Amino acid sequence: QVQLVESGGGLVQAGGSLRLSCAASGSIFSINIMAWYRQAPGKQRELVAAITSGGTTTYTDSVKGRFTISRDNAKKAVYLQMNSLKPEDTAVYYCYINVFRDNFWGQGTQVTVSS
């Protein structure tokens, strides 16, 4: 019943920017943690950034200073602004939300950064 729809992925040159969006729909009353994960071919899925309901953010070291996570509670959406993109950022990006005991994942969106 709950669905997360992602958008904003694509192909960009190194040094460029992309903005990922993820909107939740369904019977959701409140959302605790919202986050972005990514998975590159042959690698494990890793946490990129997370934001709590209180606005506290965390980032993996490799994206600090380049990526910014934000949320719009009224729209039940989470965003990831990605600047100064590098080829090593290439991966499928997944949004994630936690609602009490339940976890939900987006379908994934491909981000490809060329040299």
Q: Of 111, 107, 112, give the one whose Cα is nearest residue 95.
A: 107
Q: With a cut of 70, list the residues of the chain below it in pLDDT.
A: none
Residue 18 CB-density burial (10 A; 0-12 exposed, 13-18 middle, 19+ buried): buried
pLDDT of residue 62: 98
Q: What is the pLDDT of residue 1?
A: 81
